[in-house]
Amino acid sequence: MKKTIVMAALLVNMVVAVSGTDFEERISRRVWLRDYFNEVIYGQDRNILLKYQPKLTKEENIFLYYGYYDADTRLWFDESAFYRDRIKCSKEDDSEYGSYISMSGWGFRCKAKELTPDLYEVQIEDVRISQELYELLLEDGHNMKFALDATEPEYSLYCRFDGEYLYIYLEDGKTLYATYCAYDESEEEALYEAIKTNEFDMTKFTFPRYADGTCDYESGGGVPGKKIVDGLYRAQDNLRLRVNENTSSEIITTMKAGTYMIILSLGKEETIDGITDNWVEVELQTGARNLEGDVITGTVGWCFGGYLK
């Protein structure tokens, strides 16, 4: 019988899970790429990938992939299939292990159990692999030692969604195996084209956000303070919303600290209180209230981007 899993902080007071979940659907709604692609986009440099996929620097791998006649003319960034790293899960049939989960280079039949609305146990039919496959996967950046060491089938992974982030933990529920981030199909295509040319059009990307609306990559291309159109932000303190992009403009309302808003457009750059940033046109989101407690959801106006987070 499988050992009792203690998930310290992650699975506190775990209850009996139920079969039949929307896990496959949640995966299929978006394209889930490994988190290091965020760094590639943010740094606008395809060579960042080489740090995470060492196989790309080995000429013999390029030779084996492309074949003899193309090996001397094609490079690793010419074909996305060579460096692509994403997770997919699909329903195959109605049997006990009727779903299939794949992670760039390996995949298994599985079944999912919902533990909480954002946490799933994914039971793998048989996770065991050979030494040869382990070494091949290691070159792809997948350290599958847990699968190499497994002596029994029915291994479990734990998958936790946090907004547009997906964390995959090993069977102990505490060891993080991999992190994936959600992108749209158009963004995936733009990414592969950018890697091929090493020219990044930052208007084609929106960095993933956590469930609380925060983002690790607020700055497009390493420009401090540069906000992202369509990005979700919060007011750091009580903040005035104005008719136009200047401090002398008429005040529409004063929103409470923590108010969520979507950026509609970027305005002029200015330095205020020693902070250099853009004025931004925003639309206040659900739950927005002014200092008097009145609902101001949907209100549109301008505020200084340096006071947002």
Of the candidates 103, 95, 81, 128, the one whose C-alpha atom is nearest the C-alpha of residue 27 is: 103
Q: Which pLDDT tens digits describe the chain residue by residue (309 residues)?
A: 333 333 322 332 222 233 347 899 999 999 999 999 999 998 899 999 998 888 887 765 555 444 544 445 678 898 898 899 999 998 888 889 989 999 876 788 999 999 999 999 999 999 898 999 888 888 777 788 989 998 888 899 999 999 999 999 999 888 899 999 999 999 999 999 999 999 998 888 888 988 887 787 754 433 344 566 767 788 888 999 999 999 999 999 999 988 888 888 888 888 888 888 889 999 998 778 899 989 998 999 999 988 887
Residue 114: C-alpha distances to residues 14, 156, 162, 210, 291 (Å):
11, 13, 15, 20, 40
Q: Which pLDDT score is estimated for 14?
A: 28
Q: Which pLDDT score is estimated for 72?
A: 53
Q: For residue 284, what is the enclosing H or E element?
A: strand 275-284
Whether 276 and 269 have beta carbons less than 8 Å apart is answered as yes
Residue 238: C-alpha distances to residues 137, 254, 299 (Å):
50, 7, 15
Question: Please, what's the largest Cα pairwise distance for the chain?
Answer: 72
Distance CA 190, CA 205 (A): 8
Whether 230 and 206 have beta carbons less than 8 Å apart is answered as yes
Place of tokens 């992670």: 103
Q: Which pLDDT score is estimated for 280?
A: 92
Q: Which pLDDT score is estimated for 20?
A: 47
Full-model pTM: 0.64
Sequence-distant (6+) residues with CB within 8 A of 80 are 192, 195, 196
Q: Which pLDDT score is estimated for 74?
A: 72
Sign of CA dihedral 61, 66, 70, 76: negative
Distance CA 145, CA 149 (A): 6
Q: Which pLDDT score is estimated for 222?
A: 35
